[in-house]
Amino acid sequence: MAFRYIVFNKPYGVLSQFTDEGTGHPTLKDYIPIPSVYAAGRLDRDSEGLLLLTDDGKVISQLTHPRGHAQKVYWVQVEGTPTPGKLEQLERGLVIQGRTTLPCEVRLLSDPGLPPRVKPISPHGPTSWIEIKIQEGKKRQIRHMTASVDLFTLRIIRVAIDFLQLGDLPVGGWRELSPLEIQKLRTMN
């Protein structure tokens, strides 16, 4: 049996699952007509960007477990000023809900020029973009991290999972991985 591997550019407001469980929100089923694939990790409804879907349980496990060391890269629009001290705090790790996050990489970004989000953002002050690279992915972790240094998260876009890049895949678009990408994915440590 051949496994399926799909990269999807998840829009804002879409659930990272195939059923809405009565919520009325759009789901993966509204975009991807392939049965029996599952998200390897999730993006919350308010987050956007790269989502990998597969029916390969081994790959799902290695990408979602922190021991797999799969780095996830996020572009985060925040309200407030990300001072060097705040960026350093994010990098070192923070205590969130009684647990310290792993150290990560953080840097200030210039405006990435992304298309506007479906639901417009109305900030109350200046906004900035930062890039955060993490190897874990606890529920709403990026939002909790930025809030703990007084930066209110306005928008999150995952742009990479390890070597897989969102690139120019349109919002709501998906594609199958190439044979080379599948080979790299299956041999990740």
**Which residue in the list 44, 55, 56, 111 is annotated as catalytic?**
44
> pLDDT tens for residues 128-184?
999 999 988 777 889 999 999 999 999 999 999 999 999 999 999 999 999 999 999
Residue with tokens 């780095």: 71
Q: Where are the beta strands (DSSP E) in 80-151?
A: 95-96, 99-100, 105-109, 127-134
Q: What is the pTM of this model?
A: 0.93
pLDDT of 28 over the 90 cut:
yes
Q: Which residues contact 151 (CB under 8 A, 6 or more apart)?
A: 78, 79, 80, 82, 86, 130
Residue range 1-19: average pLDDT?
91
Give me the domains of the chain, ranges plus CATH numbers: 5-66+163-186 (3.30.70.580), 71-161 (3.30.70.1560)
> pLDDT tens for residues 47-92?
999 999 999 888 888 787 666 668 899 999 999 889 999 999 999 9
Please answer whether residues 61 and 8 qualify as being in contact, where contact means their C-beta atoms are separated by less than 8 angstroms. no
| Known catalytic membership, residue 20 | no
Nearest Cα to Cα of residue 23 among 13, 11, 33: 13
